[in-house]
């Protein structure tokens, strides 16, 4: 007797795709809830809703961004085919701005730029996770493919500008409260505002690298997609 074929649901490829589909679905639901919540609050309360955006959706945003760190593991073990360094840079931007800057300073949480930044982040992620979720089960639409590979072109630089402005607005508070600044032996000290100023310059260098990578990826995907439709 020949080898017995495993049921489809036991095959490694099926399990990997099922896991990725569930991961993308959870992330899509989380970011959709945040975006919908922010939209409804804005139309209900106007500009006043922007001040307490973080208090309303900050916990869910932190959860979604924390879970997104799994994507680095996905790439490292090979269940996602993305490049590690560009994704690492994108996730690092968000982790630093969300957890180290916004979360640690209550005064920054009330700034309008936080609301704008969250809108940009969630808009990108809703489209990205929708595209990834459908792609993993073999469904592709020309409009969605083009949209997911084009939306980031204006939005991603605006995200970086909003992140940089958030950091800039946080500097006086870090200087006043001394958050994360520490004194070390031998009259040495770490002044966190200076660290943030250095990071501001690195942020735009990283944006240039990531933008070039995403543009090359977009060109390759849109070049291949018409050929897939003909097959």
Catalytic site includes residue 163: yes
Catalytic site includes residue 173: no
Determine whether 25 is exposed, middle or buried from the number of CB atoms within 10 Å of its CB (0-12, 13-18, 19+).
Answer: middle
Q: 192 with 167: CB under 8 angstroms?
A: no
Distance CA 130, CA 71 (A): 15
- Annotated catalytic residue, options 156, 173, 180, 194: 156
- Annotated catalytic residue, options 71, 80, 93, 163: 163
Closest CA to 91 of 111, 77, 70, 112: 70
DSSP-derived 3-state class of residue 183: strand
CA quadruple 222, 225, 227, 229: dihedral, nearest 10 = -140
DSSP-derived 3-state class of residue 190: strand
Helix, strand, coil % over all residues of the chain, rounded to 5: 80, 5, 20
Distance CA 187, CA 154 (A): 46
197-204: long-range contacts, CB 8 A cutoff, minimum separation 24: 197/171, 199/96, 199/167, 200/164, 200/167, 200/168, 203/93, 203/160, 203/163, 203/164, 203/167, 204/160, 204/164
Q: Which residues are catalytic?
A: 156, 163
């Amino acid at each position: 007797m020949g080898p017995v074929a495993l049921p489809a649901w036991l095959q490694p490829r099926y399990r990997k795709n099922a896991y990725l589909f569930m991961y993308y679905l959870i992330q899509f639901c989380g970011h959709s809830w945040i975006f919908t919540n922010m939209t409804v609050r804005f139309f209900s309360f106007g500009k006043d809703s922007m001040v307490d955006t973080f208090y309303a959706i900050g916990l869910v945003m932190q959860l979604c961004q924390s879970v997104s760190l799994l994507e680095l593991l996905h790439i490292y073990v090979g269940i996602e085919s993305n490049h590690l360094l560009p994704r690492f840079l994108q996730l690092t931007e968000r982790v630093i701005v969300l957890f180290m800057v916004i979360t640690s300073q209550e005064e920054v949480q009330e700034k309008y730029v936080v609301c704008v930044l969250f809108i940009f982040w969630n808009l990108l992620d809703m489209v990205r996770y929708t595209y990834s979720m459908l792609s993993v089960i073999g469904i592709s639409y020309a409009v969605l493919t083009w949209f997911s590979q084009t939306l980031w072109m204006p939005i991603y630089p605006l995200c970086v500008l909003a992140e940089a402005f958030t950091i800039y607005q946080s500097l006086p508070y870090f200087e006043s409260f001394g958050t994360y600044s520490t004194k070390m032996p031998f009259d040495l000290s770490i002044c966190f505002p200076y660290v943030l100023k250095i990071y501001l310059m690195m942020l735009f260098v990283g944006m240039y690298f990531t933008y070039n990578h995403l543009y090359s990826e977009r060109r390759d995907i849109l070049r291949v997609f018409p050929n897939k439709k003909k097959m």
